[in-house]
């Protein structure tokens, strides 16, 4: 109750404030400008544009999940947005990875392999840094990136992915069973037939204690759960049979079934040991002939086993339905719609894949083949044709969609872990992600022969975006959303830019002064020295601003 009260108080407090507009605009524009410059300098501008679009969709999904009114349609829309969010990141990163590999390999010489691999890693780091920075900047507009919203988004994306992943596994499994000429279908059919015979039609004239005990325990426990979940007392009312009330008789039956289910469950381990460890002849010799024949006939009776099977199945179904109805009766209609909205979105995704899978697959294969050089393009074309012929185009596209949702879930999970570990906090999480992502991109851009002014400018913009966004959050929480704060915000931003400019000039000057080359006693290039100096300058900038 205390946690729910604290959450409610936090929600009410968040409606009374918002990050101030001027500083938030500076953080967003600074992040956008820095990401554009760094991605262009690193040669990943196209992939960054697509991945950033996905990051903005993710931020929009988090924003929709904060709605208190129209929660059901907002949750449904957020669930659908998670598909382009994951697809944008996957396509952007995949495209640039494909381009980088095609441009770097085959390497001119074996000694260049490690260098080309490092170049690819640097390009991917710049791309991910720009993507994280864009997400943080978009989330800072309304400060929607909180641990609560991220945790809720993780639950939503998990429920959205259930149906696409389930249908994909079913279709892929069907393709494997029907297309592999390894006797898989026969083996599976034989396995199912053996299990069915063991459970429902065993060999007569022998003891089959384990399967009978399992069926008896399942039937008694399912009946107990059904009687416990169904409104038997309300349905029976005051009806009676003789001097016994029907409701009291059903309650006593429920209690006895519970006790009987516990006893039969405890009998399963001894039955397993008796059937596995003891030979059948030993059991026959240990028991009197009449007792053994009675037990053998009872435990091997197909009619009795079938009856227990259907009792377990029907009672279990009734217990599940009763639990769902009872839960629904205690939950408001809006909460039910909100809970089922992600599943409806997952069903819509499956239906959309079924409708447009062929043109989507042709476009993807054609795009990848067009970016590869021979003979890789021919090998990929042949491989894709074989995979599509084996699994079918719908299964392939559904698998890609399921993978996109899994990627989105992974990204959101990593974001929630960053909250748990304390890397970001509820207050100013967006600016922290914006500044951290942009600084990561600037740091690795320095390893890709990016221009000196781009690296230094990206470092300064990273700190300015973080400081301006944090200041917007703090000032908005203190004075509210309607106070006039533009002059104070502009002065704060000008001070940050001035100190950042001084740090950048100092770093550039140091890069020109420090000697380089074999005779200098160090192998540092000018750009590397400038990058280290820019890091020191930004640290001093933080100390001065704080």
pLDDT of residue 524: 40
pLDDT of residue 153: 93
Residues of the chain with pLDDT under 50: 1-15, 182, 184-185, 516-527, 530, 543, 545-546
Cα 401–Cα 124–Cα 450 angle in degrees, nearest 5: 145
pLDDT of residue 32: 92
CB 129 within 8 A of CB 384: no
Q: How far is CA 158 from the centre of its chain?
A: 6
The count of residues in the chain is 546
The pTM for the full model equals 0.71
CB 162 within 8 A of CB 346: yes
Q: What's the rounded Cα separation, in Å, for the pair 297 and 209?
A: 11
| Cβ-based burial of 86 (10 A; exposed 0-12, middle 13-18, buried ≥19) | buried
Q: What's the rounded Cα separation, in Å, for the pair 252 and 259?
A: 11
H or E element, residue 245:
strand 244-245
pLDDT of residue 523: 39
H or E element, residue 113:
helix 113-139
pLDDT of residue 187: 55
pLDDT in tens, 1-10: 334 444 444 4
Nearest one of 75, 116, 165 to 400, comparing CA atoms: 165
pLDDT of residue 157: 93
pLDDT of residue 231: 79
Q: What's the rounded Cα separation, in Å, for the pair 504 and 459?
A: 8
pLDDT of residue 106: 63
pLDDT of residue 537: 55
The neighbouring-strand residues paired with 240 are 245
The neighbouring-strand residues paired with 245 are 240
Nearest one of 298, 304, 303, 273 to 205, comparing CA atoms: 298
């Amino acid at each position: 109750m205390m946690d729910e009260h604290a959450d409610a108080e936090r929600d009410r407090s968040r409606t009374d404030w918002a990050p101030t507009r001027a500083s938030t605009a500076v953080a967003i524009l600074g992040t956008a400008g820095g990401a554009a410059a760094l991605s262009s300098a690193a040669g990943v501008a196209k992939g960054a544009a697509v991945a950033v679009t996905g990051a903005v969709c993710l931020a929009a999904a988090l924003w929709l999940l904060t709605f208190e009114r129209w929660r059901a349609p907002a949750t449904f829309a957020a669930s659908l947005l998670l598909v382009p969010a994951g697809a944008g990141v996957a396509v952007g990163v995949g495209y640039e990875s494909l381009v980088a590999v095609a441009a770097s390999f085959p390497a001119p010489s074996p000694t260049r392999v490690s260098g080309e691999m490092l170049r690819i890693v640097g390009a991917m780091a710049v791309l991910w840094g720009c993507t994280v920075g864009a997400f943080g900047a978009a989330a800072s507009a309304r400060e929607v990136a909180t641990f609560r919203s991220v945790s809720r988004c993780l639950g939503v994306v998990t429920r959205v992915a259930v149906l696409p992943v389930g249908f994909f596994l079913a279709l892929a499994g069907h393709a494997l069973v029907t297309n592999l000429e390894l006797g898989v279908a026969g083996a599976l059919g034989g396995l199912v037939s053996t299990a069915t015979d063991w459970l429902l039609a065993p060999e007569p004239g022998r003891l089959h204690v384990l399967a009978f005990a399992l069926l008896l325990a399942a039937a008694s426990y399912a009946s107990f759960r059904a009687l416990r979940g169904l409104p038997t007392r309300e349905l029976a009312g005051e009806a009676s049979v003789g001097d016994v009330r029907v409701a009291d008789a059903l309650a006593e039956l429920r209690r006895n079934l519970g006790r009987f289910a516990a006893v039969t469950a405890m009998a399963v381990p001894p039955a397993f040991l008796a059937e596995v460890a003891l030979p059948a002849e030993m059991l026959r010799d240990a028991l009197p002939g009449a007792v053994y024949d009675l037990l053998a006939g009872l435990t091997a009776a197909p009619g009795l086993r079938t009856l227990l099977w259907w009792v377990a199945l029907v009672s279990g179904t009734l217990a599940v339905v009763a639990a769902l109805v009872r839960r629904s009766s205690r939950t408001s209609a809006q909460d039910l719609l909100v809970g089922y909205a992600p599943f409806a979105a997952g069903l819509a995704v499956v239906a959309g894949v079924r409708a447009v899978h062929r043109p989507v697959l042709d476009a993807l294969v054609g795009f990848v083949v067009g970016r590869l050089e021979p003979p890789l393009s021919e090998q990929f074309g042949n491989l894709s044709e074989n995979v599509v012929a084996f699994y079918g185009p719908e299964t392939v596209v559904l698998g890609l969609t399921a993978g996109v949702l899994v990627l989105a879930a992974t990204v959101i999970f990593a974001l929630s872990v960053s909250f748990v570990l304390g890397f970001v906090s509820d207050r100013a999480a967006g600016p922290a992600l914006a500044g951290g992502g942009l600084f990561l991109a600037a740091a690795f851009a320095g390893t890709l022969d990016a221009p000196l002014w781009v690296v230094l400018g990206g470092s300064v913009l990273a700190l300015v975006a973080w400081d301006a966004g944090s200041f917007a959050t703090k000032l908005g929480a203190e004075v509210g959303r309607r106070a006039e704060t533009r002059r104070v915000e502009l002065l704060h931003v000008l001070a940050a830019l001035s100190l950042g400019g001084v740090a950048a000039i100092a770093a550039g000057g140091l890069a020109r002064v420090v000697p380089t080359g074999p005779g200098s006693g160090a192998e540092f290039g000018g750009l590397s020295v400038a990058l280290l100096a820019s890091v020191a300058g930004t640290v001093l900038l933080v100390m001065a601003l704080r």
